[in-house]
């Protein structure tokens, strides 16, 4: 106890001397000692993410404590995205890098892994329990985990832990903000409830690429993607024909385009169905691998998800003609 007091006293004397010196040299008003000291501690953590599905929630959770930049903007396809030189320098300038992993950013694996040797860089979806992840027919893990808001919450949690570790002085605040944000995520589940009203025989979600399997699992909707879990391989004639057959068989009223994927194959399906006298509409545009413009509702993770819920609900629930 005595020792501690001595240290504090010593520190106080030292501060006094420094303060006097500061006043003496600069003759500013006396309260200059407060602000200056903490300045270095107040620096936000520079966070760089690949997709905005990570960046926007982290920015909301981090508030003033973080500066977040997502490299992939609206309508960018992460499967095909090649990092630019400016991306590389942004990665180098970051304090913490957060990306999705599970081979989503297929052309960025090398720079992301090498930046991980220099600084904290976490593939947040890689932290998820393997038995909760979906795989395709070839055994490749489906990276579109953000469509399972419970799993995505866990992945974001791992990201927040990474930030806490980097800046322990912000840990309490980050934790508090995180709890607040996660409470909002819980509400998404309640909003998705209405999808249960879609009639059984219309529970088909047809999209250009297979991004919605987690969404389908969560909401009990059959997902038909023309292209598989990556956009790397294009849809073939047989994919288009199989999809048309599904639509004709089940009388699927609407199919969906994606904001980050070319619409051609979806158009081919609509034409093919029309040739068989089946009228299928475009049910709207879904956000699959990219979110909406920054500053709009759809530019947020929650807003993007709500948009998809509403678009799917509107297109599949009504039409029973």
Provide the minimum distance between the beta carbon of 144 and Zn ion in the complex, in angstroms, as a whole number. Answer: 6
**Least distance to Zn ion from the beta carbon of 225, Å?**
9
**How many CB atoms lie under 10 A from the CB of residue 131?**
5
Residues that bind Zn ion (rule: CB under 5 A) add up to a total of 2
Report, in Å, the least distance between residue 307 CB and Zn ion.
17
For residues 278-297, which are near Zn ion according to CB under 5 A? 289
Show the CA angle centred on residue 70, arms to residues 64 and 71, nearest 5°: 150
Of 64 and 82, CB closest to Zn ion? 82
Q: How far is the CB of 77 from Zn ion (least distance, A)?
A: 7
Question: Closest CB to Zn ion among 167 and 229?
Answer: 229
Q: What is the DSSP letter of 44?
A: P
148 near Zn ion, rule: CB under 5 A: no
Nearest distance from residue 231's CB to Zn ion, in Å?
6
Nearer to Zn ion, 100 or 219 (CB): 100
Residue from 51, 108, 125, 211 touching Zn ion (CB under 5 A): that is: 211
For Zn ion, the closer CB: 60 or 289: 289
Name the nearest CA neighbour of 97 among 64, 75, 71: 71
Distance in Å, CB of 293 to Zn ion, minimum: 19
CA atoms of 87 and 111, how far apart (whole Å):
10
- In 18-104, DSSP assigns E strands to 45-51, 66-72, 96-99
Query: What DSSP designation does 65 have?
Result: G
Taking the least distance from each CB to Zn ion, the nearer of 163 and 226 is 226
Q: Contact at 8 Å (CB) between 98 and 133?
A: no
Contact pattern from residue 241 through residue 280 relative to Zn ion, giving x for each residue in contact according to CB under 5 A and a dash for the rest: ----------------------------------------
Q: Which is nearer to Zn ion, 56 or 207 (CB)?
A: 207
Distances (CA, A) of 265 to 207, 230, 312: 9, 15, 19
Distance CA 228, CA 213 (A): 10
Give the separation between CA 174 and CA 162, rounded to whole angstroms. 11
Q: Given the rule CB under 5 A, which residues bind Zn ion?
A: 211, 289
């Amino acid at each position: 106890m005595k020792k501690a007091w001595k240290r504090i006293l010593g520190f106080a004397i030292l501060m006094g001397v420094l303060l006097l010196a500061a006043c003496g040299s600069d003759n500013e008003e006396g309260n200059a000692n407060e602000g200056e000291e903490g300045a270095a501690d107040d620096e936000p953590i520079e966070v760089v993410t690949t997709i905005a599905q990570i960046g926007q929630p982290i920015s909301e959770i981090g508030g003033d404590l973080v500066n977040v930049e997502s490299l992939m903007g609206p309508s960018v396809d992460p499967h095909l995205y090649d990092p630019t030189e400016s991306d590389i320098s942004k990665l180098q300038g970051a304090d913490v890098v957060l990306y999705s992993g599970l081979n989503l950013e297929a052309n960025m694996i090398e720079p992301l892994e090498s930046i991980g040797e220099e600084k904290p860089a976490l593939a947040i979806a890689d932290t998820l329990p393997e038995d909760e992840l979906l795989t395709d027919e070839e055994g490749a893990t489906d990276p579109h985990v953000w469509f399972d808001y419970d799993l995505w919450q866990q992945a974001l949690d791992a990201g927040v832990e990474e930030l806490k570790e980097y800046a322990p002085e912000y840990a309490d605040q980050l934790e508090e903000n995180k709890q607040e944000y996660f409470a909002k995520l819980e509400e998404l589940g309640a909003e998705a409830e209405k999808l249960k009203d879609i009639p059984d025989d219309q529970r088909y979600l047809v999209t250009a690429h297979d991004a919605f399997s987690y969404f389908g699992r969560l909401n009990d909707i059959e997902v038909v993607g023309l292209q598989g879990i990556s956009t790397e391989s294009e849809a073939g004639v047989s994919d288009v024909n199989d999809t048309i057959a599904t639509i004709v068989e089940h009388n699927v009223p609407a199919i969906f385009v994606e904001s980050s994927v070319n619409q051609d194959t979806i158009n081919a399906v609509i034409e093919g169905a029309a040739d068989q006298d089946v009228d299928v509409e475009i049910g709207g545009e879904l956000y699959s691998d990219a979110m909406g413009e920054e500053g709009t509702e759809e530019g947020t993770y929650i807003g993007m998800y709500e948009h998809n819920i509403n678009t799917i609900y509107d297109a599949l629930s009504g039409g029973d003609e």
